[in-house]
């Protein structure tokens, strides 16, 4: 059976290489029936995705992926069913966007100091329409011949701890989860495999703290997850009485090995998952009104 639901993907509104309109066409071709686009730190894709999906039989859930700040590890929090007009959520996202802009200037400065001669115009040529992030820098370094691959761009320059790395000032998970709830949405921990916490016990404690902060779900099914990741995080979903989400994290050419709609071991997501997420979101929406 083919998977018909994908709740994690990106467009040119952040660091994907497909425009919202192209992504909708691609989703239809991939046989998807329900999608959520989760661009980083913005909601500007949502209206374009909805407009593009209108002529098609394609259900669109509003989504966003917000970068959070933790002392332990970088984390990403997904918001679903959010009201795109929410003041609380938009105020938080605008603050992150402003920080992103300043950070990009600082990354350019660091690259110049390292003898990598790139300008803001160069970056603009490889950036999407907004929310410029490190994948755009990587693409630029590749195209300008400073590196031979995207991973090399991260390994030599852009990854945490490398010479052109600049930290992004971000909000705490608690603040982000609260803003998602204020927007009538549910919060899911994105790709937990990528948490930089090595041991299972510490990972469990970290997630327990997020649950205390209001986390609703964990992205158990992600294209980067192994079968043992899926088992481990499913176990935590049960233990903490959470919901689960799933998605490919499709970025187009920035992550060309990831296919839209494709999950590990050809897993398929059930409609019931979406229904449960929506029911929980309705509770948050009721609470705020």
Give the residues lining the site for Fe ion (CB under 5 A): 65, 76, 190, 249
Residue whose CB is nearest to Zn ion in the complex, by number:
15
DSSP per position, 191-224:
-GGG-S--SHHHHHHHHHHHHHTT--EEEEEETT
Residue 62's binding partner, choosing from Zn ion, ligand AMP, Fe ion, none, with beta-carbon cut-off 5 to 8 A by kind? none
**Min separation Cβ 67 and ligand AMP, Å:** 5
Shorter beta-carbon distance to ligand AMP: residue 78 or 274: 78
Shorter beta-carbon distance to Fe ion: residue 11 or 104: 11
Binding residues with ligand AMP: total (CB under 6 A): 10
**Min separation Cβ 261 and Fe ion, Å:** 15
**Min separation Cβ 61 and ligand AMP, Å:** 20
Q: Residue from 8, 11, 15, 274 that binds Zn ion (CB under 5 A)?
A: 15
Q: How far apart are CA 78 and CA 64, in angstroms?
A: 6
**Min separation Cβ 272 and ligand AMP, Å:** 29
Name 161's Cβ contacts closer than 8 Å, sequence gap at least 6.
none
The residue among 46, 29, 36, 26 whose CA lies nearest residue 5 is: 36
Q: How far apart are CA 146 and CA 153, in angstroms?
A: 8
Q: Residue from 3, 18, 19, 40 that binds ligand AMP (CB under 6 A)?
A: 40
Q: How far apart are CA 288 and CA 189, in angstroms?
A: 22
Q: Residue from 16, 20, 128, 133 that binds ligand AMP (CB under 6 A)?
A: 133
Q: Does 222 bind ligand AMP (CB under 6 A)?
A: no
Shorter beta-carbon distance to ligand AMP: residue 168 or 169: 168
Residue 176's binding partner, choosing from ligand AMP, Fe ion, Zn ion, none, with beta-carbon cut-off 5 to 8 A by kind? none
**Min separation Cβ 270 and Zn ion, Å:** 26
Shorter beta-carbon distance to ligand AMP: residue 114 or 271: 114
**What Cα–Cα distance (Å) separates residue 39 from each residue in 2, 11, 91, 199, 243?**
24, 7, 16, 30, 21
Where do contacts with ligand AMP occur on this chain (CB under 6 A)? Answer: 40, 67, 133-135, 150-151, 154, 159, 168
Where do contacts with Zn ion occur on this chain (CB under 5 A)? Answer: 10, 15
């Amino acid at each position: 059976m083919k998977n018909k639901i994908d709740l994690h993907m990106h467009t040119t509104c952040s660091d994907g290489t497909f425009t919202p309109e192209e992504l909708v066409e691609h989703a239809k071709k991939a046989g998807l029936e329900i999608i959520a686009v989760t661009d980083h730190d913005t909601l500007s894709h949502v209206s374009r995705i909805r407009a593009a999906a209108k002529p098609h039989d394609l259900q669109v859930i509003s989504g966003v992926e917000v970068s959070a700040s933790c002392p332990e590890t970088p984390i990403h929090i997904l918001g679903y069913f959010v009201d795109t007009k929410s003041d609380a959520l938009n105020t938080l996202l605008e603050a992150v966007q402003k920080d992103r802009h300043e950070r990009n200037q600082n990354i350019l400065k660091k690259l110049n100091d390292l003898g990598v001669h790139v300008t803001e115009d160069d970056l603009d040529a490889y950036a999407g329409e907004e929310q410029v992030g490190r994948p755009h820098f990587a693409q630029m370094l590749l195209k300008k011949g400073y590196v031979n691959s995207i991973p090399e761009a991260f390994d030599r320059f852009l990854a945490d701890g490398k010479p052109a790395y600049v930290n992004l000032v971000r909000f705490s998970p608690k603040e982000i989860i609260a803003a998602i709830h204020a927007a009538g949405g549910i919060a899911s921990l994105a790709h937990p495999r990528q948490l930089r916490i090595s041991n299972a016990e510490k990972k469990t404690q970290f997630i327990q703290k997020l649950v205390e902060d209001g986390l609703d779900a964990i992205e158990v099914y992600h294209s980067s997850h192994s079968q043992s990741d899926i088992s481990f995080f499913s176990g935590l979903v049960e233990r903490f009485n959470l919901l689960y989400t799933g998605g490919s994290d499709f970025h187009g050419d920035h992550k060309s090995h990831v296919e839209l709609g494709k999950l590990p071991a050809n897993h398929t997501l059930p409609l019931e998952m979406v229904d449960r997420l929506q029911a929980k979101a309705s509770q948050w929406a009721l609470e705020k009104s």
